[in-house]
């Protein structure tokens, strides 16, 4: 959807008359039924004055198409500025410009395509402007059939009109050169260069013809995108499906195809414990349905699994259009009905009610996902809800499916491929942590390497040893009982976790893929970087929030770190309903450690800060711990 569209001549006139921001505001209200915030209004006024200077050149055709705030179909992403026309060879061209008002950025070492800048009232990690413009161009190119069939060339760039470039500027660091090469970033004082970029591509105007073509293009994955994900998946043995994974896969495939044939909504709920292959099924469905011309997206609340699976598919390839297949769970806030064909929601137990940076957008993520697609698939394990904001449950999904008139199918993945194929360990863990009573009171007959150590150093040393023999598939994880200070998040020299003589850093914020990075074995991961992923071996440090007192496993939410957002809101709940707060906190803490202790397929090695808990776990194992 184009919020504002016209030709260059009309745009310049609107800016001269100081009416351009009001025109955009009016059209947003008419087309999207939402009011415009004052800071957004001022941003248009500021940035579009600079674009006036750029386009105020007689060599840029007066009838070239101009669009502002193009909402990419099936997404919540909006392109700031587009210019359309034809080059000297009469090839159709559209220039995409991402506008930024930033005046300062910091490069982030070790993070592909990310920078740090002040935005939204705080210093935040955001994508490099050239990466952002490039990804928007790739998204349009990969999913707009008119762009593909008519071979419309998309030329992305970014324009930071307040940014004063200096020698060895962080904007131009080596890690960003791959994006800058094809998607240049223009800064303050470079109006001439940006004009030249446009004039090379727009020689003859089109009177908005190309913008109209793109805006009304059918959404369909390109052949190159289909070929890319097929090739990547075939090259990865870990995505081969086994037993009931294949059964569930075929059932979902059949239901999704029916949705395309009869137009009816269908919601499939797939329950499965740790290691049952929920993500394997989801990735295979993503590839197959994309190859059947469906618009499909893999969605998760937590960024860790989608970052890792995306990187596993891509391998060493940094830039790939499959990046746009992996999305956060809050992207459907303003989505129209059935804008997507199939949405695959992994870790559905982690879904939230509200979306956005400040958790103030939308009504309910589950409702919005079901509303936005014909076929919605939720992979869920209710015992892995680990924050106060997690609302994902089978009942909640079913409620909103009925609200949307969607047919509901429930399935289950039962074969345990984690924990050495034994769900006996899981039952023992539930019994031992007093989550639920089971018949598995010891580990005597269960073939799983669970050991309790008397020092964190012993656990860490064993993890380092196992990592060498398991092809980088061993990690140390910890409960969130130690602070993660903002100013040291990127420093491996600062050790957040200190227990006696043992010290280690939390996983650095400079990585998006802690689970598979070669050097991250030297850091401690947490629930947020490990959930939804698996290793061969895990070491788990249990903090003071879980202890053994008077014959019972007890939790203490006050021992959680202040930087832990998973319990945000618990203080208020304690004042209003102490008993409910106690039960909720108990569930979150025990589910957290249950999740951490089920990340290892072959073994789990534990250290407890509480000596009584350590001795209790050793007794419960019932063999040499």
Residue ranges per structural domain of the chain: 2-215, 223-413, 419-621
pLDDT at 420: 63
Pairing assessment for the beta strands 524-525 and 474-478 based on DSSP bridges: parallel
Residue-wise pLDDT for 104-150, tens only, equals: 999 987 777 889 999 888 888 899 999 999 999 999 999 999 999 99
Residue-wise pLDDT for 521-574, tens only, equals: 999 999 989 999 999 999 999 999 999 999 999 999 999 999 888 898 999 999
**Residues 159, 99 contacting (CB under 8 angstroms):** yes
Q: Give the largest CA-CA distance in the chain.
A: 84
Tell me the two tokens of residue 378: 């939720």
Among left, alpha and beta (phi > 0; psi -120 to 50; other), residue 359 is left
pLDDT at 595: 96
Predicted confidence band of residue 585 (pLDDT cuts 50, 70, 90): very high
Which of the residue ranges 23-27, 168-172, 262-266, 397-401 would you say has the lowest mean pLDDT? 23-27
Which tops the pLDDT comparison, 360 or 73? 360
pLDDT at 360: 86
Burial 76-91, CB ≥16 within 10 A → b, else e: bbebbbbbbbbbeeee
Sign of CA dihedral 587, 588, 592, 593: negative
Predicted confidence band of residue 71 (pLDDT cuts 50, 70, 90): confident
Burial 579-604, CB ≥16 within 10 A → b, else e: eebeebbbbbbbbbbbbbbbbbbbbb
Residue 240 has a CB neighbour count (10 Å cut-off) of: 12
Predicted confidence band of residue 624 (pLDDT cuts 50, 70, 90): low
Task: Tell me phi and psi for residue 258, to 5 degrees.
Answer: -60, -40
pLDDT at 623: 63
pLDDT at 387: 93
pLDDT at 336: 85
Predicted confidence band of residue 418 (pLDDT cuts 50, 70, 90): low
pLDDT at 489: 79
Cα distances (Å, whole numbers) of residue 217 to 32, 123, 154, 206, 580: 19, 37, 14, 17, 51
Task: Tell me phi and psi for residue 513, to 5 degrees.
Answer: -130, 55
Which of the residue ranges 351-360, 434-443, 505-514 would you say has the lowest mean pLDDT? 505-514
Burial 372-405, CB ≥16 within 10 A → b, else e: bbbbbbbbbbbbbbbbbbbbbbbebbbebbeebe
Distance (Å, rounded) from C-alpha 278 to C-alpha 242?
11
pLDDT exceeds 90 at position 394: yes
pLDDT at 335: 85
What's the fold here for domain 223-413? Answer: Rossmann fold (3.40.50)
pLDDT exceeds 60 at position 342: yes
pLDDT at 319: 66
Distance (Å, rounded) from C-alpha 119 to C-alpha 246?
45
Q: What is the arithmetic mean of pLDDT over 361-390?
A: 95
pLDDT exceeds 80 at position 381: yes
pLDDT at 238: 77
């Amino acid at each position: 959807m184009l919020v504002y569209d016209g030709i260059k001549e009309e745009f310049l006139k609107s800016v001269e008359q100081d009416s351009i921001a009001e025109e955009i505001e009016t059209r947003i209200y008419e087309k999207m039924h939402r009011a415009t915030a004052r800071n957004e209004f001022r941003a248009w006024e500021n940035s579009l004055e600079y674009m006036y200077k750029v386009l105020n050149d007689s060599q840029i055709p007066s009838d070239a198409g101009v669009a502002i705030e193009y909402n990419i179909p099936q997404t919540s992403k909006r392109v700031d500025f587009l210019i359309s026309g034809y080059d000297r060879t009469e090839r159709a061209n559209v220039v995409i410009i991402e506008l930024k008002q930033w005046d300062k950025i910091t490069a982030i070492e070790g993070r592909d395509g990310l920078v740090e800048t002040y935005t939204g009232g705080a210093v935040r990690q955001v994508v490099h402007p050239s990466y952002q413009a490039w990804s928007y161009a790739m998204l349009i190119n990969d999913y707009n059939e008119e762009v593909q069939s008519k071979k419309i060339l998309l030329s992305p760039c970014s324009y930071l009109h307040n940014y004063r470039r200096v020698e060895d500027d962080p904007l131009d660091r080596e890690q960003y050169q791959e994006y800058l090469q094809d998607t240049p970033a223009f800064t303050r004082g470079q109006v001439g260069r940006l004009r030249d970029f446009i004039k090379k591509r727009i020689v003859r105007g089109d009177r908005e013809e190309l913008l109209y073509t793109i805006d009304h293009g059918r959404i369909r994955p390109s052949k190159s995108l289909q070929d890319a994900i097929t090739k990547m998946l075939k090259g990865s043995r870990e995505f081969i499906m086994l037993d009931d994974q294949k059964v569930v896969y075929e059932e979902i495939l059949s239901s999704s195809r029916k949705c395309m044939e009869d137009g009816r909504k269908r919601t499939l709920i797939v329950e499965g414990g740790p290691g049952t292959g929920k993500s394997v099924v989801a990735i295979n469905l993503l590839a197959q349905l994309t190859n059947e011309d469906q618009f499909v997206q893999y969605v998760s609340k937590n960024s860790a699994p989608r970052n890792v699976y995306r990187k596993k598919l891509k391998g060493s390839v940094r830039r790939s259009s499959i990046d746009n297949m992996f999305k956060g769970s809050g992207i459907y806030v303003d989505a129209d009905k059935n804008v997507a064909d199939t949405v695959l929601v992994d870790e559905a137990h982690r879904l939230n009610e509200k979306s956005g940076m400040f958790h103030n957008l939308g009504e309910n993520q589950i409702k919005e996902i079901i509303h936005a697609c014909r076929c919605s698939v939720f992979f869920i394990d209710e015992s892995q809800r680990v924050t106060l904001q997690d609302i994902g449950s089978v009942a909640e999904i079913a409620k909103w499916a009925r609200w949307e008139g969607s047919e509901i199918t429930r399935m289950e993945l039962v074969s345990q491929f984690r924990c050495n194929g034994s769900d006996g360990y899981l039952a023992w863990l539930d019994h031992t942590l007093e989550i639920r009573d089971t018949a598995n009171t010891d580990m005597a007959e269960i073939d799983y390497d669970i050991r309790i150590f008397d020092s964190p150093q012993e656990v860490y040393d064993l993890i380092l040893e196992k990592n060498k023999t398991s092809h980088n598939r061993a990690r140390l994880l910890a409960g969130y009982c130690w602070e993660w200070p903002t100013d040291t998040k990127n420093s491996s020299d600062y050790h957040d976790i200190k227990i006696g003589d043992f010290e280690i850093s939390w996983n650095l914020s400079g990585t998006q893929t802690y689970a598979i990075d070669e050097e991250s074995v030297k850091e401690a991961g947490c629930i947020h970087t490990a959930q939804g992923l698996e290793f061969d071996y895990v070491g788990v440090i249990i903090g003071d929030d879980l202890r053994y007192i008077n014959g019972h496993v007890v939790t203490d939410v006050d021992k959680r770190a202040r930087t832990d957002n998973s319990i945000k809101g618990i203080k208020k709940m304690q004042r209003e309903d102490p008993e409910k707060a106690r039960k909720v906190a108990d569930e979150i803490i025990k589910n957290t450690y249950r999740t951490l202790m089920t990340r290892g397929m072959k073994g789990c090695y534990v250290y407890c800060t509480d000596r009584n808990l350590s001795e209790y776990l050793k007794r419960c194992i019932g063999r040499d711990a």
